[in-house]
């Protein structure tokens, strides 16, 4: 008997199952998932999901350096911290974070908004730059001591004040953020954006600190994604030919389960005996392989969750 494959030929990265809440499984998919190998629950979240497919050495999650290398090609020069543009709306109880990064800024708008921030962060020892309108960066000295910053997925939609950094180092960063918010609030670019019905940039999101990894290896060689972090990891992994044969397809932006089901027949045909792995951001996973069709005694799955 042939040994079972250790890697799928195709892996589909999917959002949390709750994103498909209320959407039925087709009878064919319900049978497929019932007969598939349900993997043990894994850690939830974007970081954990991507680290299931990429190995970083030294271990960590320095997203700022990883995306900086793709955006500007100079990540080896410093440690980096993302300082992404954000929109915060004051409400009765605090300030709710409604957008981080993708605010539809042009390059000229981003450069103009960053300009008054340069003396503020430069004098603090953290030069700021915006090589991409949605991704702004602070260059950090090697000896910089940083507080813990919450990732965007934790902050987005929540009260900003619940996620400000604590402790003595946190106090310094809270002060820098306050000064930056005042500068951004008074910026003419924001006045023009508000007049045009667009979201202003009135805050920053600090996150993803670290140095560029020495080594990045992908479990599967071909990666299909336009999302910045995943595409940046894939670009770094291309330098390491030991990545496994196969394809990782990013479907995390999908909210229509029928669109996922429509991809399954071609993915299964492409994958052959190694099969297709469905990897959900909440840690659930199913591995679909041809030999499982003989498990006809299993009752069709009633729902994803």
Largest CA-CA distance found in the chain, in angstroms, rounded = 71
Q: Helices then strands (H, E): number in the chain?
A: 10, 13
Query: Following DSSP, what letter does each residue of 52-96 receive, concatenated?
Result: TTEEEES-S--HHHHHHHHHHS-GGGSEEEEEEEEEEEE-SSSEE
Element holding 189 (H helix, E strand): helix 188-195
pLDDT in tens, 92-124: 888 999 999 999 999 999 999 999 999 999 999
User: Which pLDDT score is estimated for 131?
Assistant: 98
pLDDT digits (tens, 9 = 90+) for 135-168: 999 999 988 889 999 999 999 999 999 999 998 8
- Closest of 15, 35, 88 to residue 291, by C-alpha: 35
pLDDT per position as a tens digit, 261-303: 999 999 999 999 999 999 999 999 999 999 888 888 889 888 8
Q: What is the overall mean pLDDT for the chain?
A: 94
């Amino acid at each position: 008997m042939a040994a079972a494959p250790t890697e799928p030929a195709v892996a589909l990265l999917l959002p949390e199952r709750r994103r498909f809440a209320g959407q039925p499984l087709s009878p064919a998919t319900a049978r497929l998932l019932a007969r598939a190998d349900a993997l043990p629950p894994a850690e939830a979240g974007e970081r954990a999901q991507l680290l299931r497919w990429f190995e970083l050495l030294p271990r960590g999650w320095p997203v700022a350096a990883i995306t900086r290398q793709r955006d500007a090609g100079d990540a080896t020069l410093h440690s980096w911290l993302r300082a992404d543009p954000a929109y915060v709306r004051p409400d009765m109880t605090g300030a709710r974070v409604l957008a981080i990064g993708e605010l539809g800024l042009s390059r000229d708008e981003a450069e103009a908004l960053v300009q008054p921030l340069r003396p503020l962060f430069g004098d603090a020892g953290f030069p700021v730059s915006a090589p991409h309108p949605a991704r702004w960066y602070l260059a950090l000295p090697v000896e910089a001591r940083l507080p813990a910053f919450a990732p965007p997925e934790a902050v987005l939609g929540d009260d900003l004040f619940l996620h400000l950094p604590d402790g003595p180092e946190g106090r310094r960063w809270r002060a820098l953020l306050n000064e930056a918010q005042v500068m951004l609030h008074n910026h003419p670019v924001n006045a023009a954006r508000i007049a045009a019905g667009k979201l202003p940039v009135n805050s920053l999101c600090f996150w993803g600190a670290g140095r560029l990894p020495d080594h990045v290896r992908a479990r599967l060689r071909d990666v299909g994604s336009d999302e910045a972090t995943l595409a940046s990891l894939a670009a770094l992994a291309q330098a390491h030919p030991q990545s496994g044969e196969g394809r990782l397809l990013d479907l995390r932006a999908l909210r229509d389960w029928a669109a996922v089901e429509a991809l399954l027949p071609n993915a299964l045909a492409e994958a052959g005996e190694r099969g297709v792995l469905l990897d959900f951001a909440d840690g659930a996973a199913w591995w679909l392989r041809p030999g499982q069709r003989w498990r006809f005694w299993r009752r069709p799955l009633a729902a994803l969750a």
